[in-house]
């Protein structure tokens, strides 16, 4: 696992952490050169690029960029690598990436936040590159807090302002079962994304752990009360509330986000408050993986088996103090969704594998998951030290 982590980080570092993303079809120079602006044309490029079985982005001249969430994950992975090895270059790399997050944050909002750096067309509107989301922001906050501990004590002040983004820009409002927030400031309020609420609560818990501000714990509790109220009798969560607002069912990695958020709350705030919720959620989540560690798509479909689900499985089972299961899940991805040299692929379908590498979706998530698992294992003395001279950059 340690060698795979190093190879995964090397792949990203050699490319300056730039690459394609899942929904980046609007970055096509051909589309940008057209003399018309059309929602349907934007959607057409976006969906054709997204759904093609091979990577047609080079043919369409889709620009490769850094992704805000991806850089946050790479920051965390490099900091973990620094803890594992003591090698200063990992810390320097992490600091450079953390600085990039600060410099490339979204502007015009109530606190630190960020989103994808490419436009994203939806049926009900278009998201421009400056529009932030709570999911990416939650990982950027996590990255800045980790960088504050390992690099210089000046990231915390920036990270703590993200509470203003969550509580003011995302329309934090009371609900019969607690409180809820929007995914993005531009959301209509007609529906709510469940995992985004969970990650918004985790962001507040992370800030509470760093600052001790009681208002953050209270707000996180209110949001998680709402999330808990939307749990199904099966133990999982639909993507949106109401479920009819999305084509997604109780899919794998989004449920992993929710489980991880409740585990974080239990570790920092109160292990008893959501104990029953967690028990049911973990039982459901376990059922989304085969005995060999392959991730199912959701509660009904096995395929496609997505590398992001593998990475999230590694994170959740590591957080559950089940390193053997985490390793099975990560090893499955290494065997079936990797070239064996640190490059990971998008997904395994029933009849073929989509051998497309996305810098955020594939590389960043796997680098972070591998680093968390390796660090946990090293703390438990399960692995031999990572020898600094084993491989070169």
Would the pLDDT of 124 be above 90? no
pLDDT at res. 117: 82
Nearest to 97 by CA among 24, 150, 133, 162: 150
Is-contact 144 101, C-beta < 8 A?
yes
pLDDT at res. 391: 31
Residue 345 pLDDT grade (very low, low, confident, very high; cuts 50, 70, 90): very high
List the single range of 1-10, 219-228, 355-364 with lowest mean pLDDT. Answer: 1-10
pLDDT at res. 120: 79
pLDDT at res. 382: 47
pLDDT at res. 338: 97
Average pLDDT, the chain: 93
Residues 223-236, mean pLDDT to the nearest whole number: 98
Model confidence pLDDT, tens digit, residues 326-336: 999 999 999 99
List the single range of 137-141, 147-151, 202-206, 348-352 with lowest mean pLDDT. Answer: 147-151
Cα dihedral angle (265, 201, 144, 14), rounded to 10 degrees?
Answer: 100
> For residue 52, what are its two tokens?
């093609």
Residues 51-79, mean pLDDT to the nearest whole number: 95
Task: Give the residue with greater pLDDT, 89 vs 42.
Answer: 89
| DSSP 8-state code for residue 354 | E
Residue 277 pLDDT grade (very low, low, confident, very high; cuts 50, 70, 90): very high
pLDDT at res. 381: 65
List the single range of 86-90, 93-97, 258-262, 386-390 with lowest mean pLDDT. Answer: 386-390
CA distance 63 to 357: 14
Would the pLDDT of 390 be above 70? no
List the single range of 8-12, 75-79, 98-102, 124-128 with lowest mean pLDDT. Answer: 124-128
pLDDT at res. 259: 98
Is-contact 265 201, C-beta < 8 A?
yes
pLDDT at res. 38: 85
Is-contact 381 86, C-beta < 8 A?
no
Would the pLDDT of 111 be above 50? yes
pLDDT at res. 221: 98
Percent of the chain residues topping a pLDDT of 90: 82
Would the pLDDT of 263 be above 60? yes
State the burial class of residue 245 (Cβ atoms within 10 Å of its Cβ: 0-12, 13-18, 19+): middle
Residue 245 pLDDT grade (very low, low, confident, very high; cuts 50, 70, 90): very high
Percent of the chain residues topping a pLDDT of 70: 97
pLDDT at res. 379: 82
Placement of tokens 């944050």 in the chain = 105
CA distance 111 to 168: 9
Task: Give the residue with greater pLDDT, 262 vs 154.
Answer: 262
* H or E segment to which residue 355 belongs: none
Would the pLDDT of 150 be above 90? no
End-to-end CA distance of the chain: 17
Handedness of CA 57, 60, 61, 67 (dihedral sign): negative
Would the pLDDT of 383 be above 80? no
Model confidence pLDDT, tens digit, residues 287-309: 999 999 999 999 999 999 999 99
């Amino acid at each position: 696992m340690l060698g795979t982590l190093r190879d995964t980080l090397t792949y990203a570092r050699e490319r300056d952490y730039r690459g394609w993303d899942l929904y980046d079809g609007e970055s096509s120079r051909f589309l940008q050169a057209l003399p018309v602006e059309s929602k349907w044309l934007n959607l057409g490029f976006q969906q054709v690029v997204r759904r093609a079985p091979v990577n047609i982005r080079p043919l369409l001249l889709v620009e490769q960029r850094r992704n805000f969430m991806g850089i946050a994950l790479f920051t965390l992975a490099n900091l973990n690598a620094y803890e594992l090895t003591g090698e200063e270059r990992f810390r320097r790399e992490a600091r450079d990436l953390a600085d990039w997050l600060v410099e490339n944050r979204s502007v015009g909002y109530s606190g630190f936040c960020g989103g994808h750096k490419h436009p994203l067309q939806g049926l009900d509107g278009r998201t421009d590159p400056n529009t932030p989301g709570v999911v990416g922001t939650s990982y950027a906050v996590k990255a800045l807090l980790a960088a504050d501990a390992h690099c210089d004590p000046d990231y915390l002040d920036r990270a703590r302002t993200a509470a203003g983004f969550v509580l003011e820009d995302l329309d934090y409002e009371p609900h019969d079962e607690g409180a809820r927030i929007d995914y993005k400031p531009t959301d209509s309020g007609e529906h709510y994304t469940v995992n985004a609420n969970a990650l918004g609560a985790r962001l507040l818990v992370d800030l509470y752990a760093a600052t001790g501000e009681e208002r953050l714990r209270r707000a996180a509790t209110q949001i998680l009360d709402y999330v808990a109220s939307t749990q199904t009798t099966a133990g999982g969560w639909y993507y949106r509330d109401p479920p009819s607002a999305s084509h997604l069912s109780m899919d794998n990695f989004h449920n992993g986000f929710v489980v991880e958020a409740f585990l974080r709350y239990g570790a920092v705030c109160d292990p008893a408050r959501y104990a029953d919720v967690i028990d049911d959620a973990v039982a459901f989540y376990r059922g989304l993986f085969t005995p060999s560690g392959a991730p199912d798509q959701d509660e009904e479909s096995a395929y496609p088996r997505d590398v992001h689900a593998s990475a999230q499985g590694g994170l959740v089972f590591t957080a559950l103090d089940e390193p053997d299961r985490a390793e099975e899940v990560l090893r499955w991805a290494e065997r079936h969704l990797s070239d064996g040299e640190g490059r990971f692929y998008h997904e395994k379908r029933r009849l073929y594998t989509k051998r497309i590498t996305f810098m955020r979706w594939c590389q960043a998530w796997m680098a972070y998951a591998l680093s968390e698992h390796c660090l946990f294992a090293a703390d438990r003395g399960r692995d031999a030290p990572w020898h600094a001279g084993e491989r070169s950059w």
